[in-house]
Amino acid sequence: MWELHSDDTGAHTDFKEKMTYGDYLQLELLLDSQKRLSDHHDEMLFIVIHQVSELWLKLMIHEIEAATVAIQKEEYQSAFKMLARVSKIQSQIIQSWDVLSTLTPAEYMEFRNFLGNASGFQSYQYRLVEFVLGYKTPHIVKIYEKNPILHKRLKTAFEAPGLYDVSIQTLSKQGFSINEYVLNRDFSKKYEQDPTVADAWLEVYRNKDTYWDLYQLAEKLVDIEDWFQQWRFRHMKTVERIIGHKIGTGGTSGVGYLKSVLDHYFFPELWEIRTKL
């Protein structure tokens, strides 16, 4: 979607100050960033899929961080719009696995050795998504200690309250009794389930008309987690389809590792209470 304006002769006028579509989007830089290391045709697919996914991750982080601030300010409608956008972004990333699945095992093996130790496991933006959602893993921050810029970015998100943390704080602001050690915990630590949080969300769901904003917030969080789990599953099945149970290029157990994270929850109480309703 790009608006162009015509003069009386029907010719398109220049963009503001002669800026073109390519200038604005820096297309020369963007489209020159697909550097194949082999001469295999399908390596282009592999590169583009992962680059596009990184762009979507960048937008997800942008939206989640802004939504977190909005929730802290009790600007719920703005936050809901941003979180709904995150879910739509996730649907796009999930569909990218369908495109990558057109790569057969035989085709991938023709250029896999050129990747060296490069692996999606090393995606710092994926880890940032985990951090801003509230899932903290300290060893990830240490990996980037030799890169001051990335390390600072990750460390800031690592130590800050995540999306779920501020959502729990909102429960307290709305009058629910939440354990103090949950509200004032060290946000760099992995979140552990808490019964007072579960009780609060259960009350919200049982009285959704009274707590309509909290109810909407909860459902937006569940949407994000649902899509995240679907993304993880499609990732695991795509890897299994292409390389089976081989060790990943980054040294991980590949499919085994991807299966191990399928049962992880960012917002555990929101799933737990469904059985109790």
Q: Provide the pLDDT for residue 121.
A: 72
Does residue 236 form part of some domain? Answer: yes
The answer to whether residue 134 sits within a structural domain is yes
With contact defined as beta carbons under 8 Å apart, do 268 and 262 qualify?
Answer: no
* Per-residue pLDDT tens over the stretch 113-151: 898 877 777 889 999 999 999 999 888 888 888 899 999
Kindly report the average pLDDT of the chain as a whole number.
91
Q: For residue 174, with 0-12 CB atoms within 10 Å meaning exposed, 13-18 middle and 19 or more buried, which class applies?
A: middle
CATH number (domain holding residue 269)? 1.20.58.480
Most confident of 17-31, 141-155, 202-216: 202-216
pLDDT the model gives residue 255: 84
Residue 104 near residue 237 (C-beta atoms within 8 A) = no
- 152-201: pLDDT as tens digits: 999 999 999 999 999 999 999 999 999 999 999 999 999 999 999 999 99
Range of the domain at 216: 37-276
Q: What is the model's pLDDT at position 137?
A: 86
Q: Is residue 254 part of a domain?
A: yes
Q: Which two tokens stand for residue 238?
A: 């795509």
DSSP 30: H
Q: Is residue 19 part of a domain?
A: no
* H or E stretch covering 262: none
With cut-offs at 50, 70 and 90, classify the pLDDT of residue 96. Answer: very high
Q: Report pLDDT digits (tens) over 25-51.
A: 999 999 999 999 999 999 999 999 999
d(CA 121, CA 232): 12
Would 13 be classed as within a structural domain? no
Give the number of domains in the chain. 1
Distance (Å) of CA 70 to CA 24, 82, 176, 230, 270: 29, 9, 20, 27, 21
Q: Is 139 exposed, middle or buried (0-12, 13-18, 19+ CB in 10 A)?
A: exposed
Is the residue at 209 inside a domain?
yes
Tens of pLDDT, residue by residue over 49-63, are 999 999 999 999 999
Dist CA 239 CA 115 (whole Å): 15
Whole-number pLDDT of residue 239: 87
Mean pLDDT of 70-78: 97
Asked whether residue 165 is domain-assigned, the answer is yes
Indicate the Cα dihedral angle 167, 173, 176, 180, nearest 10°.
Answer: 80
* 238 in a structural domain: yes
| pLDDT reported for residue 6 | 47
Check: CB of residue 22 under 8 Å from CB of residue 90.
Answer: no
Q: What is the DSSP letter of 184?
A: T
